[in-house]
Structure 1
Amino acid sequence: MTREAPQVAGSGLLGTLVELRDDTVRAYLRAQRDHGDVVRFPVGPPGLRAHLYAVFSPDGVQQILGTRAAGFRKDNSVYAEIRASIGNGLLTSQDDEYLFQRRLVQPLFTRRRVDGYAAAIGTEAAATADRWAARPDATVDVASETAEFALRAISRILFGADLDETVDVVRRCFPVLGEHVLNRGANPLRSPRNWPTPANRRAAAAQRELYAICDRIIAERHASRTAPEGDGDDMMTLLVKARDADGSVLDAQAVRDQVLVFLLAGHETTATALAFALHLLALHPKAQERTHTELDEVLGGRTPAAGDLDRLPYVTMVLKEALRLYPSVAIMGRKAVTDTEIGGFRIPAGADVYVSPYVTHRHPAYWDDPEAFDPERFTPQAEADRPRYAFFPFGGGPRACIGQHFAMLEATLALATLLQRFTLTAVDTEIPLELGMTMRAAGPVRVRLTSR
């Protein structure tokens, strides 16, 4: 018999709005501990109150993202704000538009094509290591450093010779748009975007600047249909040249939408994963020593390449464990299309439904001592013994992240490059988190460097 999901207690005035706004993932963790795997949050004042549903079990996550994905759409307020800010690319598009985009973009993310990006990743990873070696105090903030590395790497891959011109614009504009998306997406009383409020004006100016530089480069690529001389095919050029089976192409706006999604997904997520992998290794010398040993045995001091990915299993295990503890996307939202049932509980049509890698990755039924760092959780046998959706940092089902291999390649090559040259010791041990467009450190994540 289908039941109503247990409800988290909140205030009579705002329900759980303040609790969710102040620390969403902690609110979710408490709700799972106190109420179980399907939970209802009352949000907003009486008369405007909505009920949000959160699902934490691997089976429930699999239904929402995988087996019953057609019944849970990307129609909530956050996705609407993303569409308005950076366009309707693969992250937010749906139905026939999504399928069309996916067909045209998929060839850019085959394993062979992604492995071809390794040289660009390696260039930026080596530059980061050189910058670290020149630090007079031998201390770096790996959060800011990996953010800079990942932004430059994805910009090099997307824009080729136009790298330097775009990096500064993206560095300044994306945080403004990201903050605007989140503030509006979480506010049930948000004003129209065209009202001249200070926040709307700041976001509009950032959007204009970001769009302008993308549009100019796209126009140049359309005019030449080739990448800048000597630079090979950057990803933007490949998007401009992409053709569907019937000859359909992405127009200039659609190319821009995809580029901005790749910028968002391709630098903040990788930066978070890499920063926390370095932080966790700095806190755990034995795991770091084992990582050094594997790198020395496999690479022998040479530059890592795409072909080394499968030869570095422990590095991969470290990255997966970092993604378990600190998934870059901590919460994923959908809207229920029809009345449905998850885990014996009713989910009404039109309800906002959320799953949380952060919470499910800590579910005590599937992870022993879930707050501990233990890369051995990701041996092949251990992975085979867990439900598929006990670990889903890249989502799952038909909307799984198209850039999974790219993200793992980028993080592996960067981690290998940096750890070949340095031993890390943690300076900051407790790292507060903040939930923006992605989850990230709320302050510095400093480590002390010792050259190897």
Structure 2
Amino acid sequence: MPSPLSASPAPGRPRSRLRPTLSLCALALASLLLATIATPALSAAPAAATAAATNSASAVQPDAGGPAWPLPEPGPRASAPPPPAPAPGGAAWPLPGTLSGTCPDPAATRRRGAASQGLLAVVAAAMAVLAGWMVVRARRPMYDMPSIPGPWKHGLPFIGNVLELFRPDFHRVLLAWHDQYGGILRVKFLWHEGLLVSDPNALAVIMGRGEGACDKASAIYSPINKMCTPHGHPNLLTAPADDAWRAVRKAVALSFAFGNIRKKFPLIRDRTGELVEWLRSLRPGACVDVDQAALRVTLDVIGLAAFGHDYACVRLRQVPPDHLLRVLPRAFTEIMRCIANPLREVAPGLFKNGPKGRKAFADFQRHMRALLAEMKARGPPPRGDADIGAQLYRVLEASAAEAEEASRRTGRRVAPTITEERVLSEIGILFVEGFETTGHTISWTLFNIATTPGVQDKVAAELQAAGLLVLPGSRGGAGAARALELEDLKRLPYLTACVKEAMRMFPVVSIMGRITEKPTRIGPYTVPPGTPVGTSLFAIQNTRHNWSHPEEYRPERWAGVHHETYVLDMRSKEFGTQEPAHPPAPAASPASAAAAKPAAAAAPAGPVEVAAASADAVAGPVGGAGGGGGAGGGGSAGGGGGRRSQDSARGSASRVGSAEADDDDEGVGGSWGGGRREGISYMPFSEGPRSCVGQSLAKLEVMTVLAALLAAFRVELAPEMGGRAGIRARESTHLTLQTAGLQGIRCRLTPRELLEEEE
């Protein structure tokens, strides 16, 4: 018996594409008819023009010894004086009979007629091909797509909802759609018809590994590939979960295992200390852009921790325009422009600042090639070196060795699976994922702490209890507080809650794209294969369907939630029930009901990660500094053996079993580990096998920088920012969520040792 998922749509199912397709077919037929009618005329026109030109030429051909121009006609026109005779050897006088006074060129006339005929034929053929393509698409089973609510019904003809992509507050547009239409809605961007999903239950399936899981929609990320390499090689973020992806993920996951990342804590603390000292050197009351300050630390940490390269951003007073700190934002802006306008990627010269954007790509690639050259110049890494550069070097060498062995065995050249260009793309994507994301998370957290009454005082009290706060009146600043240690981070639960709440309200990742590979059930709907599925973290974590008073910054909502947990369903804590009160989903169609399967149906497993290291090597992180050991989802990997701690009963409505991680899990905080989530309403680092591989480093860096800054300074939003409302009005979706304009988030940082004197 055929699978219910492959069943054809029920008879009489509405097809939303039929009416525009019929209109397009009629237009194509009209074009073909016009081409048929016009073809004889166009064919005859060159011949007629040629004949006329020949007759005219013969009529004015002079006799031997006669004049070089035609004789005047009798009648009134004969009174006109004849034109002067041409000088000997001079140019022939223009022949009459044309408006321009020149004789038509028969060959040119034939060419113009043929060109017109060919152009019309090409247009008609293109219309016919387009109509045929639309007919094929219209006949494709739509399953439940016509019954899914959403803004697609109000989109413009042919382009759908694409204009919303150009809005700087696109993230708020998506949130408004989810608030209006619910957790699963349908959109149309040009010829792409897809879904946007914020429903926690549907997200748990989409982001997982079993039946219904969706892999990355690689085509959406094409501009990122072009940024990383000239020919657009894929990488960990953009590639499908094939063998090359698994090999790189396995290698990089070991680099981000907390056992290795914790060795980087002194580096992060020391570079943050340099930033603190530089801020102290400013005049009292000076305002600085905390976003730029955080980005400087972030870029330094990535370069040093991953590749041993010091960009010295914190130490630079003036940053040259070709520095990576300046190149990255320009390249990110071009990525978003290409995503919003696919034609820009194909023909950048046709659009404003297109060549400048491509130059930004080239500048970024130059920096990445320099890192690759340094990595190769160092040669084979020593045993025990698990840094990212060392791991990528090993992957590159292993792939080359495998290709050489295969070539020797088969007698023909076998190309390596992972080339230098692929490694170059992997190097580049680490900066894409780890630069602005971490830096903006730090600045958004500082903004919320500074503008929410009472929050900064609670953070200061927690730091003081840990002996980390610089006390008022103490000269020398740092001498009044002990140095921050790694173990301190797990003793700062309120600061951890502040970070989580900031990541909920201001998730820096704009949107993530998945795609269905077969007929897939998403919530109550069954959708066809090839359907793009977008998940907006801003909408998921701010919609009123998933959160109570989501517009309020309340760190207290995380009380009782384990500090290592960064993926969970908060609906029970927010609403006091498993399901919040929101409009019920429409009833499933008969085809959808027939397609439903038990959750435990044993379907072939989707793409999975390969174990990167033993569980002992990647035991759970310390406190708020990390929650996944790097490669897994946000679920905690506390303790040895890769066992995930369960979500707190007060913090998660859907508790995950404490089963041991399955063989496919990386053992680094794998978020599924043999269990299955019932729902997800919070996942700032994504979830499942495609979750953020570097989240352990990001969490450690965010907590370290915030603890150091808040221990040394009292933070106030600068008056010119217009208060909390002013910043929120300037929210802008680029590659990451940030503020529009050049001001960033300016704050007044007052050294705490001066607070008593000011009072």
Asked whether the two chains share a fold, i.e. TM above 0.5, the reply is yes
Displacement, 1:238?
A: 4.4
State how 1:416-435 maps to structure 2 within 5 Å: 416-427=707-718, 428=721, 429-430=724-725, 431=727, 432-435=730-733
SS in 1 for 2:194: strand
Question: 1:287 maps to what in 2?
Answer: 455
**Structure showing greater Rg:** 2
Question: 1:113 maps to what in 2?
Answer: 260
CA distance in 2, matches of 1:251, 1:308: 42
Alignment match of 1:51 (pick from 193, 198, 206)? 193
Question: 2:620 maps to what in 1?
Answer: none
Alignment match of 1:236 (pick from 360, 369, 389)? 389
Question: 2:750 maps to what in 1?
Answer: 450
Change (3 A) 1:202 1:340: same
Bigger Cα displacement from structure 2, 30-39 vs 157-166: 157-166
Change (3 A) 1:118 1:148: same
Displacement, 1:388?
A: 5.0
CA distance in 2, matches of 1:76, 1:222: 29
Alignment match of 1:393 (pick from 681, 684, 700)? 684
- Structure 2 counterpart of 1:436, which letter? H
CA distance in 1, matches of 2:211, 2:442: 30
CA distance in 1, matches of 2:542, 2:350: 43
Alignment match of 1:18 (pick from 120, 138, 163)? 163
State how 1:64-79 maps to structure 2 within 5 Å: 64-68=206-210, 71-79=213-221
CA distance in 2, matches of 1:54, 1:174: 29
Q: Is the CA contact (8 Å cut-off) linking 1:335 and 1:351 kept in structure 2?
A: yes
- Structure 2 counterpart of 1:150, which letter? T
Q: Is the CA contact (8 Å cut-off) linking 1:169 and 1:210 kept in structure 2?
A: no
Q: Do structure 1's residue 135 and structure 2's residue 290 form an aligned pair?
A: no
Displacement, 1:131?
A: 2.1
Structure with the larger RCO, 1 or 2 (CA within 8 Å, 6+ apart): 1
- What is the count of residue pairs matched by the alignment? 445
- Structure 1 counterpart of 2:393, which letter? V
Displacement, 1:69?
A: 8.0
Alignment match of 1:34 (pick from 158, 180, 194)? 180
Question: 1:408 maps to what in 2?
Answer: 699
Alignment match of 2:482 (pick from 292, 297, 302)? 302
- Structure 1 counterpart of 2:292, which letter? S
Displacement, 1:405?
A: 1.3
Question: 2:224 maps to what in 1?
Answer: 82
- Structure 2 counterpart of 1:350, which letter? G
Displacement, 1:26?
A: 1.8
Displacement, 1:327?
A: 0.4
Q: CA RMSD in A?
A: 2.9
Displacement, 1:282?
A: 0.4
Q: Is the CA contact (8 Å cut-off) linking 1:104 and 1:243 kept in structure 2?
A: no
Displacement, 1:276?
A: 0.8
CA distance in 1, matches of 2:397, 2:442: 35
CA distance in 1, matches of 2:439, 2:527: 35
Q: Is the CA contact (8 Å cut-off) linking 1:5 and 1:346 kept in structure 2?
A: no
Displacement, 1:77?
A: 3.7
- Structure 1 counterpart of 2:160, which letter? G
Change (3 A) 1:198 1:28: closer
Alignment match of 1:101 (pick from 241, 248, 268)? 248
Q: Please give the per-residue CA displacement for 1:299-346, whole angstroms capped at 9, x wherever unaligned.
A: 432222333222221111110100000001131111222222212123
Question: 2:52 maps to what in 1?
Answer: none
Q: Do structure 1's residue 440 and structure 2's residue 734 form an aligned pair?
A: no
Question: 1:372 maps to what in 2?
Answer: 552
Q: Which has the higher helix share?
A: 1
Displacement, 1:212?
A: 2.8
Q: Is the CA contact (8 Å cut-off) linking 1:225 and 1:237 kept in structure 2?
A: no
Q: Percent identity?
A: 27
TM-score under structure 1 length normalisation: 0.89
CA distance in 1, matches of 2:312, 2:424: 18
CA distance in 2, matches of 1:128, 1:390: 35
Q: Is the CA contact (8 Å cut-off) linking 1:394 and 1:404 kept in structure 2?
A: yes
Q: Please give the per-residue CA displacement for 1:22-47, whole angstroms capped at 9, x wherever unaligned.
A: 13222212211221111112333xxx
Q: Is the CA contact (8 Å cut-off) linking 1:169 and 1:209 kept in structure 2?
A: no
Displacement, 1:261?
A: 1.2
Q: Is the CA contact (8 Å cut-off) linking 2:207 and 2:213 kept in structure 1?
A: no
**Structure 1: stretches of 5+ with no match in the other structure:** none
CA distance in 1, matches of 2:698, 2:508: 11
Question: 1:275 maps to what in 2?
Answer: 443
SS in 2 for 1:66: coil
Q: Is the CA contact (8 Å cut-off) linking 1:158 and 1:259 kept in structure 2?
A: no
SS in 2 for 1:145: helix
Question: 1:6 maps to what in 2?
Answer: 149
Change (3 A) 1:243 1:41: closer
**Structure 2: stretches of 5+ with no match in the other structure:** 1-9, 11-142, 403-416, 469-480, 562-647, 655-677, 753-759
CA distance in 2, matches of 1:191, 1:146: 31
- Structure 1 counterpart of 2:389, which letter? M
SS in 1 for 2:377: helix
CA distance in 2, matches of 1:60, 1:221: 43
Change (3 A) 1:196 1:187: closer
SS in 2 for 1:383: coil
Question: 1:60 maps to what in 2?
Answer: 202
CA distance in 1, matches of 2:249, 2:275: 33
Q: Is the CA contact (8 Å cut-off) linking 2:208 and 2:689 kept in structure 1?
A: yes
Q: Do structure 1's residue 173 and structure 2's residue 327 form an aligned pair?
A: yes
Q: Do structure 1's residue 264 and structure 2's residue 432 form an aligned pair?
A: yes
Q: Do structure 1's residue 330 and structure 2's residue 504 form an aligned pair?
A: no
Q: Please give the per-residue CA displacement for 1:388-429, whole angstroms capped at 9, x wherever unaligned.
A: 511011010111111111111000000001011011122332
Q: Which has the higher strand share?
A: 1
Change (3 A) 1:322 1:420: same
Bigger Cα displacement from structure 2, 252-261 vs 65-74: 65-74
Q: Please give the per-residue CA displacement for 1:342-369, whole angstroms capped at 9, x wherever unaligned.
A: 1212333222210111111123243211
Bigger Cα displacement from structure 2, 165-174 vs 122-131: 165-174
Change (3 A) 1:103 1:310: same
- Structure 2 counterpart of 1:270, which letter? T
Question: 2:339 maps to what in 1?
Answer: 185
- Structure 1 counterpart of 2:208, which letter? G
Q: Is the CA contact (8 Å cut-off) linking 1:340 and 1:348 kept in structure 2?
A: yes
Q: Is the CA contact (8 Å cut-off) linking 1:273 and 1:323 kept in structure 2?
A: yes
